[in-house]
Structure 1
Amino acid sequence: MKTETSELKIKASAKYINMSPHKIRRVTDRIRGRSYEQALMVLEFMPYHACNRMLQLLCSAAANASHNFGLSKNDSFVSQIQVDEGTSLKRFQPRAQGRAYPIRKPTCHVTIMMEITTK
Structure 2
Amino acid sequence: MRKEKKPEIYALGQHIPMSAHKARRVIDQIRGRSYGTTLMILELMPYRACYSIFKLVYSAAANASYNMGSNETNLIISKAEVNEGTSVKKLKPRARGRSFPIKRPTCHITIGVTDISLYLDEDEDKEEYEGKYLNMDYLTSLKKPRWTNTYTDMIKENVYSNSSGGLWDKK
Equivalent residue number for residue 70 of structure 2: 71
Equivalent residue number for residue 34 of structure 1: 33
Equivalent residue number for residue 47 of structure 2: 48
1:8 is displaced (CA, Å) by: 3.3
Task: Name the SS for the 1:71 alignment partner.
Answer: coil
In the aligned structure 1, how far is the partner of 2:9 from the partner of 2:102? 37
- Tell me which stretches of 4 or more aligned residues in structure 1 moved more than 6 Å: none
Q: Is 1:104 aligned to residue 103 of structure 2?
A: yes
Task: Name the SS for the 2:7 alignment partner.
Answer: strand
Q: Is 1:83 aligned to residue 106 of structure 2?
A: no
Aligned residues: 115
> Cα RMSD over matched residues?
1.5
Equivalent residue number for residue 128 of structure 2: none
| Greater relative contact order, per chain length (Cα 8 Å cut-off, separation 6+) | 1
What do the CA deviations read for 1:16-67 (whole angstroms, capped 9, x no partner)? 1111111111111110111001100100000111101000000000001100
- The runs of 5 or more residues in structure 2 that have no matched partner are 122-171
Identity among equivalent pairs (%): 49
Equivalent residue number for residue 22 of structure 2: 23
| Structure number having the greater strand percentage | 1
TM-score by length of 1: 0.90
What is the one-letter code of the residue matched to 1:106? P
Q: Is 1:59 aligned to residue 50 of structure 2?
A: no
Equivalent residue number for residue 92 of structure 1: 91
